Amino acid sequence: MHLSWPGSPLRGTAQLPASKSEANRALILQALAGGGTLSNLSDAHDTQLMRRLLAAAPSTNVLDAEDAGTVMRFLTAYLSVTNWRGQLTGTARMQERPVAVLVDALRQAGASISYLKQEGYPPLELAGFAADPGATTEPTTLAVRGDISSQYISALLMVGPRLPGGLRLQLTGHIGSRPYINMTVALMQMFGADYTAQDDTFVVRPNAYQPTDYTVESDWSAASYWYSLVALAPAGSEITLPWLREESLQGDQAIVGMMSHFGVETTFLPDGIHLRQQPVPEASGALAFDFTDCPDLAQTVAVIAAARGLPVEMTGLESLRIKETDRIAALQTELAKFGGDLRDMGEGRFRAESSGFIVNNQSVATYHDHRMAMAFAPLAMLGSLTIESPGVVKKSYPQFWRELAKSGFTVSEAE
């Protein structure tokens, strides 16, 4: 996809997809509750895939989660406690993404799960759920590391009410992506779950979820790309993004504070937000952001930091190595094409920076990763560029290129 910008200020309203983090949790809870109406479900691939697989599960014994990590992990837990029997598989990349922590925990709770290929990785064979009749009054007690993907933790929490005695889940060590865990238990509570949290231990009591109507919020991760566009656009640029909430369940709302350092002012409206470009504030010191709780913002910030020549020290990037691609390596390779760098400083610290950053018809590889495509696309504000394999955005924001065209970009298929 070839992108260029005509040079005028950015103006208008951009439509965002609904949050797939909220949607995929709500879809699992709706299935466990046996009803309720979900509104504002987006056409993002992961959300539609989750809907299709949940609908297909009762009548098929082979389900393909493709490249969707949330779908694979949430379904592994859901299908286990609902006594489904069959094979759960995914793409070649999915079969390289670990799932042993979740499988081990579910086995301890009573699930029969085996690996069909490499130990610790999909595809999986699920063979039912055997509850211990002698432990029906006591919760299943599990301990898992807190620094693993929050998707494992959320998957276990959501099926907690279906376990015979409920669930006592203790998180050990440092806890990453806590906002995603908070989102999970908040949605569980909306669907009727009874839980308590003390320190790093969650106790989920056994009870039936209640059918609930819920409207999914728009996606703050998707909003982050519009923040970058406003930051890089000509002076006087502004954009309105509907259906984002000031009281949000999404940890990626952290983009509001981060992008204020790059000259983007956020005003909350009754039905969304308004972004306005402002002069970049004079930094009182080096910028430093921890992405432990919002890893999906890391690519956005790394690119904007290099493009604006404002170095940022970045921590909490550990999970980026096991996403759709090795996102750290991908960022390093693609930023180098423009004169940027994501430098490994050791001890989990990285520094996004640049020297002589130039956009001049470079071609950006996307590595089968939707966030690589959308994080680099805003650079078209600074010059023409090409995004390879643009169809990857279907995973979370299928209308992204159409929204760019509506906002004034020249968007065309590259020859």
In the annotated binding site for 3-phosphoshikimate, the residues are: 20-21, 25, 149-151, 177, 296, 323
Place of tokens 């400083």: 345
* 149: Cα within 13 Å, side-chain hemisphere: 21
Retrieve residue 9's tokens.
């200020």
Amino acid type, 88? L
DSSP, res 18: B
What pairing do the DSSP bridges indicate for beta strands 2-4 and 385-387?
antiparallel
Q: What are phi and psi of 10, to 5 degrees?
A: -80, 135
Tell me how far apart the alpha carbons of residues 294 and 317 are, in angstroms, rounded to a whole number: 9
DSSP H or E stretch at residue 226: helix 220-232
Instruction: Kindly tell me the sign of the dihedral angle through the C-alpha atoms of 11, 17, 20, 25.
Output: positive
Helical axes 20-33 vs 69-81, angle rounded to 10°: 10
Task: Write the CB contacts of 270 (distance below 8 Å, at least 6 apart in sequence).
Answer: none
* Residues catalogued as catalytic: 296
